[in-house]
Amino acid sequence: MTNNNNNETLDYTQFTLSNQTKFYKGKVRDVYTIGNEYLVMVASDRISAFDHILPRCIPFKGQVLNQIAVHFLESTKHIIPNWLITSPDPHVSIGKICEPIKLEMVVRGYLTGHAWRTYNSGKRVLCGVSLPEGLKENDKLPYPIITPSTKADEGHDLDISEQEILIQNIVDENTWKTLCKKSLALFQFGTDAAAKQNLILVDTKYEFGWYEGALTLMDEIHTPDSSRYFYLDKYFQNQEKRLPQEQLSKEFVRQWLIENDFQGLEGQKMPEMTDSFVNIISERYKNLYNHILDVKFAPRNYKDIQTTVEKNIIKALEKLHK
């Protein structure tokens, strides 16, 4: 574990669980495979951008991500089944093992982030989707668009068009249409939920897989790592005055890295993260939790965090196996 300005963080886990068959350390999550039945996902406090893990952990980030994801997975079951079974710890989710579809379904309602950088470079087509002329950064798009990317095992995910997906037979045409329909339905649900809390769901990504032959929603949804949010009451005034939108997302971390000459490219040096910047990131994550869930964030106790997380996982797995 590491220590960030007097706040301990969950840097990593390395448990040996009963019937464990695999362990995978992702950029943010530690993933344990239990037999051929369950996945245990531990949302660490690591933070990544441009496919690089940043040098400092962010207090409470894993708890925020996990608890927001659990909330939205539970509340969108009527749209599509998902992988989640239980969340026995603020940092942990346990769910079904799915066969993943190697696509990220990115849904965009506004021209920001990667889409804006592409547009600002002069291009008017993104993932086969044509964009209208005359837009400025953070403008609302005429309607939500889907700009998928390939889910790479290593390295950068790559933009891909519907045509390329079908040619490469990543999924068949009927599955593609269903993926689009479910992604847009989830985005509309997230948009409505955000609006009730004076927020705009700007863009997000969804991952899907197969479980017992059924299309199933996987991973996290509508978290600040997978989504961008703007403040609704400030949006129109900021756009009119051409001011930046305050974002409840990771985009401000990406912008900070860009301003410090780092975009994950060869030869670039990762800038140092000060205690004050780490605390700013942590506060933004907690702020989003408070806004999107309309519940005051209750920070967990980090004392003996490794032991606590492990015990909670073991108890949950024992209960599932009864």
Task: Tell which residue, 119, 139, 117, has the closest CA to residue 202.
Answer: 139
Rounded distance between C-alpha atoms, residue 224 and residue 61, angstroms: 9
Confidence of residue 141 (pLDDT cuts 50, 70, 90): very high
Q: What is the mean pLDDT of the chain?
A: 93
> Which pLDDT score, from 0 to 100, does residue 5 have?
38
What is the model's pLDDT at position 246?
A: 83
| Residue 300 near residue 60 (C-beta atoms within 8 A) | yes
Domains in the chain and their CATH numbers? Answer: 2-98+295-321 (3.30.200.20), 100-240 (3.30.470.20)
H helices of the chain, in order, are: 61-75, 113-120, 162-167, 173-196, 232-240, 251-259, 275-293, 305-321
Q: What is the pLDDT of residue 55?
A: 92
pTM: 0.90
Q: What average pLDDT does range 28-42 have in this prediction?
A: 96
pLDDT at 247: 77
pLDDT interval class at 6 (50, 70, 90) = very low
Confidence category of residue 129, pLDDT binned at 50, 70, 90: very high
User: C-alpha distances in angstroms, 89 versus 40, 138, 231?
Assistant: 11, 36, 30
Taking the C-alpha atoms of residue 126 and residue 279, their distance in angstroms, rounded to an integer, is 35
Weakest-pLDDT range from 62-71, 99-108, 223-232, 244-253: 244-253
Q: Give me the pLDDT at residue 154, please.
A: 58
User: What pLDDT is stored for residue 172 in this prediction?
Assistant: 97
Spell out the long-range contacts of 240-245 with Cβ–Cβ below 8 A and sequence spacing 24 or more: 242/136, 244/138, 245/112, 245/138
Residue 2 pLDDT class (50, 70, 90 cuts)? very low
CA distance 259 to 33: 39
What would the mean pLDDT of 240-268 be, rounded to a whole number?
A: 89
Residue 300 has a pLDDT of 96
- What band does 288 get if pLDDT is binned at 50, 70 and 90? confident
Instruction: Categorize the per-residue pLDDT at 173 as very low, low, confident or very high, splitting at 50, 70 and 90.
Output: very high
